Amino acid sequence: MTATARPIAVYTDVDDTDPTPGIRLLEEQGFEVRVLGTRDPQEIIAGAQGATVLLPGYASVTREMIEALPELRLISLMSMGFDYVDIDAATEHGVWVTNVPGAATEEVATHALAILLSSVRQLRFYTASAVPATWNDRAETAPPRLSETTLGIIGLGKIGRELVRLARPLFGEVIGYDPMLPDTPEVRAELADLGVRRTELAEVRAAADMLSLHLPLTPQTERMVDAEFLATMPAGSVLVNVSRGGLVDHAALAEALDTGHLAGAALDVLDQEPPSADHPMLGREDVVLTPHIAYFSARTEIEYVRIQAQNAATLLATGTPDSPVNRPA
């Protein structure tokens, strides 16, 4: 790249977002912007030659892609999760990776509570039965009184703590586990103020009548909710996942639902998106399922695009982006 050439920023796929505000911000900061409209790795490699910044939507970014783009300095994501980027390869090649922390905290926590309540209050059954012929039908099992139940939260980051704040008045007790959260006086005081009792994973999964997952997908957390995990949950409990589908072994979850050990599941994410037609979570009366839209609101539509572009602008201005998830060599 010559001294007078503008840095290049490349959007890969923009299926369900309008990148116009981000394009405008980047161009105002001196970038040449390209929009490829693809998730295909080879098309991205061909179209992003010379790029300083890559801005994916849902496209995976592999080691091969990173190594084929020698001028790349930033992969700026439009999500909180970053499991679809080879972080190790990026770090080795001096490439920053950024996400959009906090942009949808309220939305995701609210959605987790909404689908949890939908499952516990058996809304699928009762909305379907709200016609004259079945008006007086009742589900096989009556729903519990929430104030007599325990909510468990695995992952007490921003979203997990916001869920505590929203849900605490409804439940008899809220307990939580987070191996990454520091155990400091300040953290202990904050959790106490929120009304959550921090404990070990074994107690959370054995005591929680409703269990909500708020963890990133890593090699350590992948399929952590497996048959053994589910077997230790209380009979009649409900599993909630608005984080990453890969946290859960869905075949094992289907088995736990089929046997009646779990009363229900409330999911916004699956291990395969879009799912195949025979995915075990589709079409079940005991599963509340939404298509990965927990983050979605009129505000986040704007903020995700803005923060993604702003990370690139800040890198250009200062040499360091605003919200990195790695520290390149």
- Write the class of the CATH domain 105-289: alpha beta
Listed by start position, the domains of the chain span 8-102+298-318, 105-289
Q: Which one from 168, 223, 292, 306 is the annotated catalytic residue?
A: 292
Query: Would you place residue 1 in the very low, low, confident or very high pLDDT band (cuts 50, 70, 90)?
Result: very low
Task: Say if residues 111 and 292 touch (Cβ distance below 8 Å).
Answer: no
d(CA 124, CA 323): 39
Residue for token pair 């929120």: 194
Spatial CB neighbours of 154, under 8 Å, sequence gap ≥ 6 = 160, 176, 177, 178, 201, 204, 205, 211, 212, 213, 214, 215
Q: At residue 13, what is the residue type?
A: D
Radius of gyration of the chain (CA): 22
Instruction: Let me know if 301 is exposed, middle or buried by CB neighbors in 10 A (0-12, 13-18, 19+).
Output: middle
Q: Average pLDDT for residues 228-255, to the nearest whole number? A: 98
Q: Is 244 a catalytic residue?
A: yes
Which residue is catalytic, options 64, 148, 203, 273?
273
> For the structural domain made of 8-102+298-318, what CATH number should be given?
3.40.50.720
pLDDT digits (tens, 9 = 90+) for 15-37: 888 999 999 999 999 999 999 99
DSSP secondary structure of 292-325: S-TT-SHHHHHHHHHHHHHHHHHHHHHSS-SSBS
Angstrom distance (rounded) from CA 248 to CA 79:
20
> Is residue 250 annotated as a catalytic residue, yes or no?
no
At 4, the pLDDT band (50, 70, 90 cuts) reads low
Question: Which residue is it, tokens 């704040």?
Answer: 165
pTM for the full model?
Answer: 0.89
273 included as an active-site residue: yes
In this predicted structure, what is the pLDDT of residue 104? 95
Task: Judge whether 8-102+298-318 and 105-289 match in fold.
Answer: yes
Q: Are 164 and 196 spatial neighbours (Cβ–Cβ below 8 Å)?
A: yes
